Amino acid sequence: MLLRLQQLPRKSSSLIFTITSKRFLNAPTRVRFAPSPTGQLHLGGLRTALFNYLLAKKTGGQFILRIEDTDQTRYVEGAVESLVKALKWAGIPHDEGPNVEGPHSPYYQSERTELYREHAKRLVESGHAYRCFCTPERLSRVKEARQKKGNYIAYDKHCSYLSDEEIQEGLDKKLPYTIRLMTPYEGSTEHNDLVYGKINFSNKTIDDTILIKSDGYPTYHLANVVDDHLMKITHVLRGEEWLSSTPKHILLYKALGWTPPLFAHLPLLLNPDGSKLSKRSGDVHVEHYIEKGYLPEAIDNFVALLGWHPNDNSEALFTMKELIEQFDIQDINHSGAVVDHQKLDWINKHHILKRAQTKDGLSSLVDILKPFVDRQYISALQGTPSEYRLESNYLSQVIDTIKERIRNVSDIPTLCSYYFEEPNYESTDALALKKKLKQPAVDLINKAEFIQEFKSIEPFDAATIKPWLYSLAESKGMNPNHLMMALRYKVTGSRVGAGVAETIQTLGKDTTIRRLENQI
């Protein structure tokens, strides 16, 4: 489809926003997220849902969840439940929709098909749509021939020229037919997008869109427009891939005598190499991030920054409350948004630190960590003296100790395995650490006197252990870091971890002494 996009500076784009949104300036918005139940919720879908939710809550409006399930051939059993569960996990509840009835139910399009047929019939009667009896074979031939001639639209409007007698003949013969929108050939359709600015679409490039398929079911275009109008949707925020469909929708609104909502198209999501993010990739599904142990507030924060950022140069860390307060359509960028997992890990790390500041927050982190620990260690630890390492109190201490060093709670069982099992001194990590050890420090901690004195430390906590070790190193004329490194090797066999004194406190006196004695 050919279109003319008027590239506007941000100030001009803001002007368009001000003008076009005047009728909604002081009114609560009604927005919707309308996924098809064809699989798991992906990052792009979550971003669309989140932006709509933020706008609704910012303006004191309503967020509607509508299920666009008219294409039964693509329906996946359990997909709706999965979508609702993922949105609930992300803290994005709907005000109307499945299981939350409202004044515009039902919220499944498959239960609204009669409404769409009524409006299609109305369009035919008013001359804004027509029945198309063309067979699939003819449509294929016409499309191929027109493409060879360089035509942008695939259909030749053949059935729009049928006489009343020819139409009646087709109906009497019970020939299958579709209903198509009668698109004007001359002129253009203008659209003021809240993100992209003013766009002109040449009507010569807009096909006579099918509204009702031959099986009687509506296409996305008709169902979408009818539902948005009847559900009183004021703003439509959706992916950039729908930008080319917007003129069809605007023409439909005009044909039905309705005022279109305001449209804002969100930028494409890109891989780091600039290619379009594929929905088929497993690591774009929200379920993937849930299974990996990411925090919902971190995912919301990350997804919000895919194409949006407040214009005040504030930090990139936001709670949902802060996102609602700061969200503004004018701050959405139309450049592609790169999905950078390193940035996600950085954001997740900081939300872990924020949660860990409170008792309840730390407890919630334990709830996330425990399944990962159980999966990896329950068979080895259950029924042994070390079973306490599966308990919440111990896991809470581990998180509190290591929180500054991790990007994800689920990293702990693997990266810091020494909290749950004996160190593997033959691992690549342990051998690399061993090469850096200074022999005088190793000799010192191998002495029986060191272990005896170490046993006598009371209370056995980091606040006591650390100054004791520094004082000992000083008395021996030794670099304290050399002593700490030797101890780290002995008790963890790993370069990854928190401070040595803090790690020893969490491991406890018995475990620490045993590991020191075993490594003499």
What pLDDT shows up at residue 3? 43
Contact 226, 116 (CB under 8 A): yes
Cis before 35? omega within 30 = no
Radius of gyration of the chain (CA): 31
What pLDDT shows up at residue 20? 42
Which tokens hold the place of 7?
């590239």
Backbone φ, ψ for residue 336 (5° rounding): -55, 145
Q: Does domain 425-520 have CATH number 1.10.10.350?
A: yes
Q: 237-248 burial, b if ≥16 CB within 10 A, otherwise e?
A: bbebebbebbbb
Residue among 279, 354, 434, 455 flagged as catalytic: 279
Instruction: Encode the chain (520 residues) as per-residue pLDDT tens digits.
Output: 444 444 444 333 333 333 344 444 458 999 999 999 998 999 999 999 999 999 999 999 999 999 999 888 888 899 999 999 999 999 999 999 999 989 999 999 999 999 999 999 999 999 999 999 999 999 999 999 988 888 878 899 999 999 999 999 999 999 999 999 999 989 999 999 999 999 999 999 999 999 999 999 999 999 999 999 999 999 999 999 999 999 999 999 999 999 999 999 999 999 998 898 876 666 789 999 999 999 999 999 999 999 999 877 667 899 999 999 999 999 999 899 999 999 999 999 999 999 999 999 999 999 999 999 999 999 999 999 999 999 999 999 999 999 999 999 999 999 999 999 999 999 999 999 999 999 999 999 999 999 999 999 999 999 999 999 999 999 999 999 999 999 999 999 999 899 999 999 999 999 999 999 998 7
Global model pTM greater than 0.95: no
Q: Cα separation of 145 and 147, whole Å?
A: 5
Contact 51, 7 (CB under 8 A): no
Q: Cα separation of 379 and 390, whole Å?
A: 11
Q: Cα separation of 116 and 385, whole Å?
A: 67
Q: Cα separation of 212 and 89, whole Å?
A: 36
Torsion angle, CA of 94/227/337/50, rounded to 10 degrees? -10
pLDDT tens for 373-431 read 999 999 999 999 999 999 999 999 999 999 999 999 999 999 999 999 999 999 999 99
Residues 6+ apart with CB under 8 A from 399: 356, 362, 365, 366, 369, 409, 412
pLDDT tens for 326-356 read 999 999 998 999 999 999 999 999 999 999 9
Which tokens hold the place of 427?
């691992």
CATH superfamily of the 3-133+176-270 domain: HUPs (3.40.50.620)
Which tokens hold the place of 504?
């020893």
Contact 496, 429 (CB under 8 A): yes
User: Of the candidates 280, 287, 265, 286, which has an alpha carbon nearest to the alpha carbon of residue 337?
Assistant: 265
Which tokens hold the place of 459?
């209370």
What pLDDT shows up at residue 448? 93
What are the residue ranges spanned by the domains of the chain?
Answer: 3-133+176-270, 425-520
DSSP state of 267: P
Q: Cα separation of 129 and 186, whole Å?
A: 17
- Is residue 490 among the annotated active site residues? no
